[in-house]
Structure 1
Amino acid sequence: MALLTSVLVRGINNLSDARYCAGMGADGLIFTLDPALPGAVDAATVRELAGWVAGVELIGEFDEMPVSEINRLVEECGLQRVLLHQRPEAPLSVPALLHAPLFLITSNSLRNEMLLQYSPIFPAGLGVAASLNIDDLPEARQEALAEAATQFPLWLSGAITADNVAGLLNAIHPAGLILEGGNEIKPGLRDFEELEAVFEALEAE
């Protein structure tokens, strides 16, 4: 399925999500590999689920884990990218998305300071992920996000729905979206109603 923008799906922890999202045209699957984060999975689970899908990027999500351990898991799991919650203390072996607070991205001075401080430590490339509360996103912040999206790959996450996704794409022009996966009701059974609605809204005509 061709989509209007790139899509990553985070929180992948079951085969139903992995196969469904890959089949719906997602570009990447994000696995939480840091035990300090909720819903973390182990490397064996990532390798097992990855064996059932093809044509998608494998991404690991980390918080305060040392870079040496992140790079080890990148190698062990065959990750092509990472999503970080903290600025790493050393260069990474793959490109990274940095989960940054909205105020930092929408402030010109803070955003420029972030770019100066962070870019040298991301030699393989840096993207930024912003979590949005759609009900509290005034026009001025949308304009600031649109400006940020011209400076670096900006990925939007948060309360993204079938009703607001087209407006976000038109107003901000992000590099892509980060949607949320979910848990199976029981092995092999998963309710995809909300996720399916977003994918259908993103389907290119």
Structure 2
Amino acid sequence: MALIIPVLVRGINNLSDARYCAGMGADGLIFTLDPSLPGAIDVATVKELAGWVAGVELIGEFGASMPVSGINRLVEECGLQRVALRQLPGSPLSVPVLLHVPVFALLDGRFTEEVRAQYAALFPAGFELTTTLDSSLSATLLPALANHAQQMPLWLRGAIAPESVRALLEEVRPTGLILEGGDEIKPGLRDFTELESVFEALEEE
């Protein structure tokens, strides 16, 4: 299935999600590997799930409690191509970074060219930004997000509705979208209704 924009899916914790998202054209799967974060899974689970999929990027998500040495170790153990971070690390990482930035930090002008240069120095392997859209975000603020998306790679996650996703992409022109995985109802049984509607809205015509 070919999609009109790159898609990552975060919170992957079961085989149903891993195989479904890979089959629907997702470019990458994000696994929560920091034990301090909700829904974290272990190395063995990541390796097991990764063994069932091919052609997708493997990404680990980490919070503030995980030291860089621990992140780099898990990068090697799990064969990760990138990591997703929720705040700045204390030292450089061995792979490219998806750095989450609150949407208000982008909209109020604090993410300046000088700040981008500082981040570039901290992430020698490269970095891209992610931000979360809230359903209450006014459409009048989307041009400001579009301005950031023109200056550097920006991924959107959060309030992404199938009926409006194409208009959102046209307005902001992000690098890609980050969708949310979910839990199985029971082993091997998963309701993909929400994910399926978004994937179908993103399918190339």
Shorter-chain TM range is over 0.9
SS of 1:168 mapped into structure 2: helix
Cα separation, 1, equivalents of 2:114 and 2:182? 35
SS of 1:53 mapped into structure 2: coil
Q: Which runs of 4+ in 1 moved over 6 A?
A: none
Tell me the residue number matched to 1:145.
145
State percent identity of aligned pairs: 66
Q: 1:50-108: CA deviations, max 9, x gaps?
A: 00000000000001111110000000000000100010111111000101101112233
Change over 3 Å in CA distance of 1:111–1:103 after alignment to 2:
farther
RMSD over equivalenced CA pairs, Å = 1.0
Q: Displacement, 1:43? A: 0.7
Q: Which runs of 5+ in 1 are unaligned?
A: none
SS of 1:98 mapped into structure 2: strand
Q: What does 1:125-136 align with in structure 2 at a 5 Å threshold? A: 125-136=126-137
The aligned length equals 204
Q: 1:152-179: CA deviations, max 9, x gaps?
A: 1100000112112111100000000000
The answer to whether the 8 A contact 1:104-1:111 is kept is no
Instruction: Using structure 2 for the length normalisation, give the TM-score.
Output: 0.97
Q: What does 1:167-178 align with in structure 2 at a 5 Å threshold? A: 167-178=167-178
Are 2:2 and 1:2 equivalent residues in the alignment?
Answer: yes
Q: Displacement, 1:25? A: 0.1
Tell me the residue number matched to 1:39.
39
Letter in 2 for 1:90: S
Instruction: Using structure 1 for the length normalisation, give the TM-score.
Output: 0.97
Tell me the residue number matched to 2:79.
78
